[in-house]
Structure 1
Amino acid sequence: MGAGRVPEFRSDNTLINLQHLTKRFSRSGNEVTAVDGVDLNIREGEIYGIIGYSGAGKSTLIRMLNGLEQPTSGSVTVNGLEMSSISGAELRKARQKVSMIFQHFNLLWSRTVEENISLPLEIAGADKAARAERVRELVRLVGLEGREKAYPSELSGGQKQRVGIARALANEPRVLLCDEATSALDPETTDSILDLLTSINRRLGLTIVLITHEMHVIRKICHRVAVMEAGKVVEEGDVLQVFKSPEQPITKRFVSQVTEPGDARQAISQLGEAYPDGTLIRLGFVGDRAEQPVLAKLIRSFDINVNILQGNIAQTHGGAFGSLVLQLSGDGNAVREAIAFLHAEGVETEVIAHD
């Protein structure tokens, strides 16, 4: 079934290229620009995330990748084929290699699991034996053994999305588009679907483009991310680098969803009140630095008291990132030297409060 297992994403080959992509709609006599001059390169074999709040233009953008929407201007090129310049039978054939899964699954409720998965193969004209074999492969791939004869009404949300994924893979696409594919799922089920997408990406070398408003989704599975606001891509880069050094205000808000949720921000404020003595600092650890014994070296090297007040660590495809809130107390010079030491060690350090 398709290619064998591939290593972690390393490709520099562009599979999807967007140039000056713009989409305008006319609504009630007013012109609305949904996508505004977007330039992007998405590489073969990567998981690429597009994040933005409602109305940012991300859903319109992803629909132009498979020709469901035509751009007002600019171009969409997928695997060397300009999607924005083809139509009819040529476009239908191209869409077989650019599949899509949706937030609300879009299954046919009158069809069983295996019949839903088989539908694209029927449309493509595959014979009955080939369809049956392919459906068996896909059922195994997405972990739905024993549920082949079930109808969508008999499935959980996560199982429905697994059917949607299997159906999208039926014609062995080069690209899988995910339109808020986990937004209707609970957190545990979301993680299981993200794990499945990661496994499919690695096993098949499939390029995955997903849109979301949840930074947890980006953190967990994406190699690179584009941040959209008001139809524009305002920031783009490797996920770990974006977490390390977000530049735009909207990106900082998204990153704080994962690195510093609302209850943590409130807790840090409360810590400043609860520990008025000494200096309160927040440390940011990124990549290999998150796994180094920097704190142990700090304690051994300086005659200060170090109190760990709060901390967390998480993983991205590019490596680990995390944060610690510490209280440093002792001689003022020693505290300042300790903070300078942390800077020298490559640890991002922010003084939250000091006496």
Structure 2
Amino acid sequence: MIKLKGIKKFYKTKTGLVNALNGIDLEVNKGDIFGVIGYSGAGKSTLIRLINMLEKPSEGRINVDGSEMSTLSKKALRDARKQIGMIFQHFNLLWSRNVKDNIAFPLEIAGVPKRERERKVKELIHLVGLEGRESAYPSQLSGGQKQRVGIARALANDPKVLLCDEATSALDPKTTEAILDLLVDINQKLGLTIILITHEMHVIKKICHQVAVIDNGIIVEEGEVLDVFRSPQMAITKDFVKQVTSDSESEEAVKLIKQTYPSATIARLTFAGEAANRPVISELLKQEAIDVNLLEGNLSQTQRGALGTLTLLLDGEAPKVKDAITFVENQGVVVEVIQHASEPVS
């Protein structure tokens, strides 16, 4: 559906060239929700703006649904952009227009007859859950409602691709969850391909099928969301994963347990997909002669299946503890030993 090959983007400044993107290769399958995550300045906003040619690449090729975007004439590019909707962090609504007229705006530009515009706007208002707010102006809407207007407007021309530029960053947690649920609903009902950029890993976990991690203009890690959560390879990816698999309270609990049981092994288990549905711990207790205490844990759902973590205290003879860890790993569970037996407490 979307292919980026050898993408580079340079900006000229008074001090010289700035490399915003440096050799991006990326492929997004039709119907997927693809997340791009990175810290501020990593290049993710530049990347998403290149897909609909709001900015042109310095090098490389961008293909969207069979069209080489950088080779299109101005008219052909305008037509191609109708197939790519975009929503923004700060909504970008027209403040002098009400909800209906904001949603109708791209249809007016496209020359759609009034009766057809009204039908389409009504359909989109229902889709995004804004019934009763048709005549409200942006100043009368909450942040979540404004973003729903932005989503409806982006869908007005029946695009095949929806680009989301930090679409939930300006929203509170509860509203963020509602908007993410709406994006999943749209993806499933319309078969829309969605590319979403963010710096929040819980957004990736909740709705994305695939994820790419970008750092200093380079994709450093990429894959199925469950695979990346189960076994992150790069330090930056591990930091992002910790955003949703651990918190300060659990880390403090682990520190306290390490002080209380300095001779025991402490291990963090990460379950993903089918492994999260297996009775691994009960089987472990049946087969291995060690004491197992649960320190903390959580379980959540991703678009590709369950994801969970457990932190365990394993107490027993060293060979038995080693056998227990091997048994768990053989069940498809990733095990990170936080503290080895008799390890000095830091």
- The alignment's TM-score, normalised by the length of structure 2, stands at 0.95
Cα distance in structure 2, aligned partners of 1:211 and 1:30: 28
**Correspondence for 1:138 among 112, 115, 124:** 124
The alignment status of 1:183 with 2:143, answered yes or no, reads no
Comparing 105-114 with 278-287, greater Cα deviation is found at: 278-287
Q: Deviations over 1:299-337 (max 9, x none)?
A: 222333221111111222222221111122244443333
CA contact (8 A) 2:299 2:306 kept: yes
CA contact (8 A) 2:253 2:295 kept: no
**Correspondence for 1:105 among 85, 91, 98:** 91
Secondary structure at 2:55 match in 1: coil
C-alpha displacement at 1:268, in angstroms? 1.9
Cα distance in structure 1, aligned partners of 2:2 and 2:318: 55
Secondary structure at 2:123 match in 1: helix
Q: 1:262 to 1:85 in 2, by over 3 A?
A: farther
The alignment status of 1:81 with 2:63, answered yes or no, reads no
Q: 1:248 to 1:303 in 2, by over 3 A?
A: closer
CA contact (8 A) 2:231 2:334 kept: no
C-alpha displacement at 1:348, in angstroms? 2.1
Q: What is the aligned-residue RMSD (CA, Å)?
A: 1.4
**Correspondence for 1:58 among 34, 41, 44:** 44
Which aligned pairs between 1:324-339 and structure 2 lie closer than 5 A?
Answer: 324-339=310-325
Cα distance in structure 2, aligned partners of 1:168 and 1:48: 17
The alignment status of 1:201 with 2:184, answered yes or no, reads no
Q: How many residues align?
A: 341
Give the counterpart letter for 2:47 in structure 1.
L
Q: Deviations over 1:30-65 (max 9, x none)?
A: 110111111111111111111111111111111111
Cα distance in structure 2, aligned partners of 1:205 and 1:242: 24
Tell me what 1:5 maps to: none
Tell me what 1:120 maps to: 106
The alignment status of 1:320 with 2:306, answered yes or no, reads yes
Cα distance in structure 1, aligned partners of 2:337 and 2:259: 14
Cα distance in structure 2, aligned partners of 1:339 and 1:23: 46
Cα distance in structure 2, aligned partners of 1:64 and 1:338: 50
**Correspondence for 1:157 among 132, 143, 147:** 143
Cα distance in structure 2, aligned partners of 1:91 and 1:147: 34
Q: 1:336 to 1:34 in 2, by over 3 A?
A: closer
Tell me what 1:4 maps to: none
Q: Report % sequence identity.
A: 57
Q: 1:285 to 1:110 in 2, by over 3 A?
A: same
**Correspondence for 1:36 among 3, 16, 22:** 22
Q: Deviations over 1:262-309 (max 9, x none)?
A: 443333222211333532222221211111111111222233322111
Tell me what 1:299 maps to: 285
Give the counterpart letter for 1:276 in structure 2.
P
Give the counterpart letter for 2:295 in structure 1.
L
Cα distance in structure 1, aligned partners of 2:248 and 2:51: 35
Give the counterpart letter for 2:328 in structure 1.
L
CA contact (8 A) 2:20 2:216 kept: yes
Secondary structure at 1:299 match in 2: helix
Tell me what 2:216 maps to: 230
Cα distance in structure 2, aligned partners of 1:330 and 1:228: 42
Tell me what 1:281 maps to: 267
Structure 2 stretches of 5 or more lacking a match? none
Cα distance in structure 2, aligned partners of 1:87 and 1:265: 56
Secondary structure at 1:101 match in 2: strand
Cα distance in structure 2, aligned partners of 1:257 and 1:76: 32
Cα distance in structure 2, aligned partners of 1:17 and 1:342: 39
C-alpha displacement at 1:67, in angstroms? 1.1
Structure 1 stretches of 5 or more lacking a match? 1-14
Cα distance in structure 1, aligned partners of 2:26 and 2:264: 47
Which aligned pairs between 1:334-349 and structure 2 lie closer than 5 A?
Answer: 334-349=320-335
Cα distance in structure 2, aligned partners of 1:71 and 1:89: 19
Tell me what 2:6 maps to: 20
Cα distance in structure 1, aligned partners of 2:323 and 2:77: 64
Q: 1:339 to 1:28 in 2, by over 3 A?
A: same
